[in-house]
Amino acid sequence: MTGYHTPVLLKECIDGLKIDPDGIYVDLTFGSGGHSKEILKKIKGGKLVAFDQDEQVKQNIISDDRFVFVQGNFRFFKNFLLYLGIKKVHGILADLGVSSHHFDQTDRGFSYRSDGPLDMRMNSSSKQTAAQLVNTMTQEKLANLFYHYGELNNARQIASLIAKYRIEKPIETTFDLCQSLASATPKNGEYKFLAKVFQAIRIEVNNEMEALHEMLDQTPEMIYPEGRLVVLTYHSLEDRDVKNFIKAGNYSGKTESDVFGQISGLPFKAVNKKVIVPSDNEINNNSRARSAKLRIAERNE
């Protein structure tokens, strides 16, 4: 694959969908089209609807009568499908996270490895950039952001350094942000630390966790009984919420039973009881696969 990134766990994702050649499927994160192309290979009379909020992916749109592309955030996928006259589908695939393409584009500001405008918007038409966020958010809210979304124990220190730095000079570039945190950046583990900082800001800029919850909450209504939900995550926050949603239909992971101890009404059942992770060989060939976790669920009747 060229353009965006090599799909992670591609065979496992496609197998997980258990594709009916005449079924209707949804790829919620089109990107380079790697998953969509594989799905189309298995579809005959069916249809595939793909979503992506990034306007740049239009260059990857597939010319096929069975394929429909929607430029939009997947948190609205139900409304888009209903607009297309689709009330239910046989399978939904979501490959979460940021593509290699975004990290490689210095003007998108996703990476701490190269200097560029501190942007981080997956949808370039969105209003708030990462620079605006770090320059205007209160120190207290920044600390909460880094603690919850970056899982950083020194979140208060990080927020304090940013607040002090921006008094003298606005934080406008990725290297500005890195420089503001120089005194808190460990000499051993620099990249891991900065990755967590950038992750936290990116999640907030793009409302990623809210979007994920809104998307998942719509899946029970939109998937046929015995249809599949396939979700690929890249950090613990996403994976935990996906795991809990499949297990309990909520994000706490707690289930409620009746007086007889029976649990009923759960929308999904896990297909893979143990999370699926890439092989060492795949990780060696594709470093992006290192943190990937795949969960597959089947819609209960």
Share of residues in the chain with pLDDT > 70 (%): 94
Q: How many structural domains does the chain have?
A: 2
Instruction: Please give the Cα distance from 254 to 251 (Å, whole number).
Output: 8
Is pLDDT at 10 greater than 80 in this prediction? yes
Domain boundary among 187, 205, 223: 205
Pair (21, 89) in one structural domain: yes
Is pLDDT at 223 greater than 70 in this prediction? yes
Pair (218, 264) in one structural domain: yes
Is pLDDT at 95 greater than 90 in this prediction? yes
CATH code of the domain in which 163 resides: 1.10.150.170
Instruction: Please give the Cα distance from 65 to 226 (Å, whole number).
Output: 26
Question: Sheet harboring 223-233: ordered strands across?
Answer: 67-71, 47-52, 24-27, 89-95, 223-233, 293-299, 268-270
Mean pLDDT, range 218-238, rounded to an integer: 97
Share of residues in the chain with pLDDT > 90 (%): 80
Is pLDDT at 156 greater than 50 in this prediction? yes
Of 65, 219, 78, 235, the C-alpha closest to 149 is 235
Instruction: Please give the Cα distance from 37 to 24 (Å, whole number).
Output: 14
Residue 190 domain-assigned (yes or no): yes
Residue 110 domain-assigned (yes or no): no
Q: What is the mean pLDDT of the chain?
A: 92
Instruction: Please give the Cα distance from 117 to 115 (Å, whole number).
Output: 7
Pair (154, 183) in one structural domain: yes
Residue 117 domain-assigned (yes or no): no
Pair (22, 138) in one structural domain: no
Is pLDDT at 23 greater than 90 in this prediction? yes
Q: What is the domain range of residue 158?
A: 127-205
Instruction: Find residue 92's DSSP bridge partners.
Output: 26, 229
CB neighbours of residue 232 within 10 Å: 28
The answer to whether residues 130 and 117 touch, using CB atoms and an 8 Å cutoff, is: no
Choice between 260 and 27, residue whose per-residue pLDDT is larger: 27
Domain boundary among 177, 205, 233: 205
pLDDT of residue 125: 84
Choice between 110 and 90, residue whose per-residue pLDDT is larger: 90
Domain boundary among 205, 227, 262: 205
pLDDT of residue 262: 65
Is pLDDT at 270 greater than 70 in this prediction? yes
Length of the chain: 301
pLDDT of residue 273: 86
pLDDT of residue 118: 96
Name the pLDDT band for 1 (thresholds 50, 70, 90).
very low
Instruction: Please give the Cα distance from 243 to 176 (Å, whole number).
Output: 36
Pair (15, 54) in one structural domain: yes
Pair (217, 199) in one structural domain: no
Pair (189, 176) in one structural domain: yes
Pair (212, 295) in one structural domain: yes
CATH code of the domain in which 231 resides: 3.40.50.150
Is pLDDT at 206 greater than 70 in this prediction? yes
pLDDT in tens, 30-79: 998 999 999 999 999 999 999 999 888 888 999 999 999 999 999 999 99
pLDDT in tens, 273-297: 899 999 999 999 988 899 999 999 9
Mean pLDDT, range 241-258, rounded to an integer: 89
Residue 50 domain-assigned (yes or no): yes
